């Protein structure tokens, strides 16, 4: 997946394209490029690596023109080098693409046979040649694009320039998001409203199958059949200001530290101060009738869903089906018409989760999106949306979005339990009170930062690491392992503590750290026994629990992290923080690119 931007402006657009790409860099940073029409002629600049490299290239060799397109790439087909960087062009057409053209090999064979030559290994380049081939038959840009779109299989958002057609950009969308921005005598295209935020707040979101013909005066939008359509213009609330790191070395650390505040903000949006209870906004369906819940997500958001399964089943006594989005959508799961499916996503754009949402919606389920980007596709397409108020999350490894997702999902569990009559007032009050105490405990947990950094220093040489936990600490163990591997590149696995004896324990020796997430809950003793088994085999245990819990292992563990004593219900929210900090410090001490780890991107809009 990638970020794309297109501008028909009044002055040279190159600086605005680069600024837009910086806002989209969370979508990928393998290479970047821009193309403009300089006196009607296509000009390109491309560079491998991050956008700063493109910026340097453009500084050395400036590029002019008021019509242009730009791209930041997360490589799918072809290594991340300059030849594979977008925009792709044959001199007649230049275009940028987010998505995957699934039938590119077949099209490439066909085009090669008719004399087209290819410069890159990408799937995208076939679209350039396909449109060119239709132009060569005498079709105008709009008709040539429409004809080419009929031939494409897969997912795409495209922005296209045509040699000799200054002031014209054509955009098209299927599967991948694309927004049209309206200016005064200027028009814009972007993968999201954030890219366009400093340029305009007036945004229309293209629907699947749409294509749009932009000129300086406006846009004509057509649906998949080529019929003119109107799409609503929204006024985006997003700010054009670039988010800064403040005094922090990395966005990730800043975002870890913001958790006490944003958890509080998210809770406050659901808290009724008069009744001292947690509430949800009115839903377009009857929560009391919900007798089964499907939870679907990817990555870190999937681990939030996994915690929620324990909560919803335990607190609301409703059975939960839990799935990774990329598996769910293809396994032909029988869905319950009128049932509830909840999709959890920081970005609200993840292709697999979005496809799962559409699948459930089309099958007649009620869909709820728990998203951090309020204007995202999932927020717009679900029957209801429950926002997490984490604010923009820039670090690719999710932290504050995760803990605020947990707050929303805990609220959902409580409200569901109450609405279904399985949670009495006292139990509801106890759980709600525990949740409202999380922000102040989060501040306390953050005070362990220095101690965790010291432990990180001792774990730098690890080749492998295990994380274990039981109950809601199990998904936190999985999340801890994911955090460590994605930013430090140390191989890490999370396991249910009770599963260690069924295989993973064979891996234990004195070189393998085992991070134990062990809040003092009903399962503490059982986890403690599993830890004894690890210690008996020489494992280097880092034991995370409250003062009483760690006292059992003070002499035996390699290190301990002391947590405040909190209600087991909210423990997963708070125990997420030390595992985030541990991964952060290990990666930061190793000197990896913490905010933009290799091979990853923040928003994954391809399957």
Positions that interact with ligand G6P (CB under 6 A): 298-301, 345-347, 350, 353, 396-398, 600, 602-604
Q: Is 360 a catalytic residue?
A: no
Least spacing, CB of residue 482 vs ligand G6P, in Å: 8
Least spacing, CB of residue 216 vs ligand G6P, in Å: 34
Instruction: Print the SS3 string covering 509-536.
Output: CCCCEEEEECCCCCCHHHHHHHHHHHHC
Beta pairing partners, 234: 203
Distance CA 506, CA 509 (A): 8
Number of other residues whose CB lies within 10 A of the CB of residue 282: 8
Which lies closer to ligand G6P via its Cβ, residue 349 or residue 428? 349
Tokens read off for 478: 């999985």
Distance CA 251, CA 580 (A): 13
Q: Cβ distance 604 to 1 under 8 Å?
A: yes
Least spacing, CB of residue 351 vs ligand G6P, in Å: 9
Which lies closer to ligand G6P via its Cβ, residue 187 or residue 351? 351
Least spacing, CB of residue 252 vs ligand G6P, in Å: 11
Q: Which of 22, 254, 309, 602 is catalytic?
A: 602
Which lies closer to ligand G6P via its Cβ, residue 354 or residue 431? 354
Which lies closer to ligand G6P via its Cβ, residue 161 or residue 604? 604
Distance CA 481, CA 466 (A): 7
| Cα separation values, 225 from 160, 161, 282, 362, Å | 19, 22, 37, 21
Distance CA 35, CA 95 (A): 8
Which lies closer to ligand G6P via its Cβ, residue 350 or residue 432? 350
For residue 442, count CB atoms less than 10 angstroms from its CB and return exposed for 0-12, middle for 13-18, buried for 19 or more. buried
Distance CA 477, CA 467 (A): 5
Least spacing, CB of residue 401 vs ligand G6P, in Å: 7
Q: DSSP for 464-522?
A: EEEEEESTTHHHHHHHHHHHHHHHH--EEEEEEGGGGGGTGGGG-STT-EEEEE--SST
Residue nearest to ligand G6P (CB): 299
Distance CA 600, CA 266 (A): 27
Least spacing, CB of residue 335 vs ligand G6P, in Å: 20
Q: Which residue has the tokens 């590149």?
A: 489
Which lies closer to ligand G6P via its Cβ, residue 251 or residue 569? 251
Spatial neighbors of 64 by CB under 8 A, at least 6 apart, are 12, 14, 36, 38, 43
Which lies closer to ligand G6P via its Cβ, residue 152 or residue 297? 297
Least spacing, CB of residue 261 vs ligand G6P, in Å: 20
Q: Is 602 a catalytic residue?
A: yes
Tokens read off for 289: 């009738």
Give the residue numbers annotated as catalytic, written as ranges.
Answer: 2, 602
């Amino acid at each position: 997946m990638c970020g794309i931007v297109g501008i028909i402006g009044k002055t040279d657009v190159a600086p605005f394209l680069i600024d837009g790409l910086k806002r989209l860099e969370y979508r990928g940073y393998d290479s970047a490029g821009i193309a403009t029409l300089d006196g009607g002629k296509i000009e390109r600049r491309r560079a491998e690596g991050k956008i700063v490299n493109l910026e340097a290239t453009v500084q050395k060799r400036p590029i002019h023109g008021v019509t242009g397109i730009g791209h930041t790439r997360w490589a799918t087909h072809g290594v991340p080098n300059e030849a594979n960087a977008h925009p792709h062009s044959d001199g007649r057409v230049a275009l940028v693409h987010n998505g995957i053209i699934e039938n590119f090999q077949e099209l490439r064979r066909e085009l090669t046979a008719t004399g087209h030559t290819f410069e890159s290994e990408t799937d995208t380049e076939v679209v350039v040649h396909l449109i060119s081939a239709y132009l060569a038959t005498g079709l105008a840009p709009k008709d040539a694009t429409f004809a080419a779109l009929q031939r494409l299989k897969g997912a795409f958002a495209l922005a296209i320039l045509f040699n000799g057609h200054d002031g014209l950009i054509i955009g098209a969308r299927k599967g991948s998001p694309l927004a049209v921005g309206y200016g005064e005598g200027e028009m814009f295209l972007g993968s999201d409203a954030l890219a366009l935020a400093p340029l305009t707040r007036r945004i229309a979101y293209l629907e699947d199958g749409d294509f749009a013909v932009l000129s300086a005066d406006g846009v004509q939008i057509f649906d998949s059949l080529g019929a003119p359509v109107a799409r609503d213009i929204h006024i985006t609330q997003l700010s054009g200001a670039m988010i800064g790191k403040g005094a922090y070395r990395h966005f990730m650390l800043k975002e870890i530290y913001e958790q006490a505040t944003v958890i509080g903000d998210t809770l406050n949006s659901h808290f009724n101060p008069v009744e001292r209870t947690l509430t949800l906004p009115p839903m377009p369906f009857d929560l009391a009738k919900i007798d089964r819940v499907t939870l679907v997500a990817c990555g870190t958001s999937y681990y939030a869903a996994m915690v929620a399964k324990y909560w919803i089943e335990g607190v609301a006594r409703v059975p939960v089906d839990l799935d990774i989005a990329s598996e769910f959508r293809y396994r032909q799961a029988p869905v319950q018409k009128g049932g509830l499916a909840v999709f959890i996503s920081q970005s609200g754009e993840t292709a697999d989760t979005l496809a799962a949402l559409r699948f459930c919606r089309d099958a007649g389920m009620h869909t709820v999106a728990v998203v951090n980007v309020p204007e995202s596709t999932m927020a717009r397409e679900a029957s209801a949306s429950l926002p997490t108020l984490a604010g923009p999350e820039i670090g690719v490894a999710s932290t504050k979005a995760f803990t605020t997702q947990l707050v929303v999902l805990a609220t959902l569990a409580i409200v569901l339990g109450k609405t279904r009559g399985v949670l009495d007032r006292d139990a509801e009050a106890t759980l709600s009170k525990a949740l409202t105490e999380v922000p102040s405990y989060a501040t306390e947990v953050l005070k362990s930062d220095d101690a965790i950094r010291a432990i990180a220093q001792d774990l730098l040489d690890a080749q492998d690491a295990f994380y274990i936990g039981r109950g809601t600490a199990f998904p936190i163990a999985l999340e801890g392992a994911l955090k460590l591997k994605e930013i430090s590149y140390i191989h890490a696995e999370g396991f249910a503590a009770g599963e260690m004896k069924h295989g993973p324990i064979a891996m234990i020796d004195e070189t393998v750290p085992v991070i134990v997430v062990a809040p003092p809950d009903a399962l503490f003793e059982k986890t403690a026994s599993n830890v004894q088994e690890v210690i008996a085999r020489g494992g280097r245990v880092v034991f995370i629990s409250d003062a009483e819990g760690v006292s059992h292992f003070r002499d035996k563990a390699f290190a301990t992290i002391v947590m405040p004593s909190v209600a087991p219900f909210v423990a997963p929210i708070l125990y997420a923080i030390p595992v985030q900090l541990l991964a952060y410090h290990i990666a930061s001490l190793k000197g990896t690119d913490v905010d933009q780890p290799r091979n990853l991107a923040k928003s994954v809009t391809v399957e």
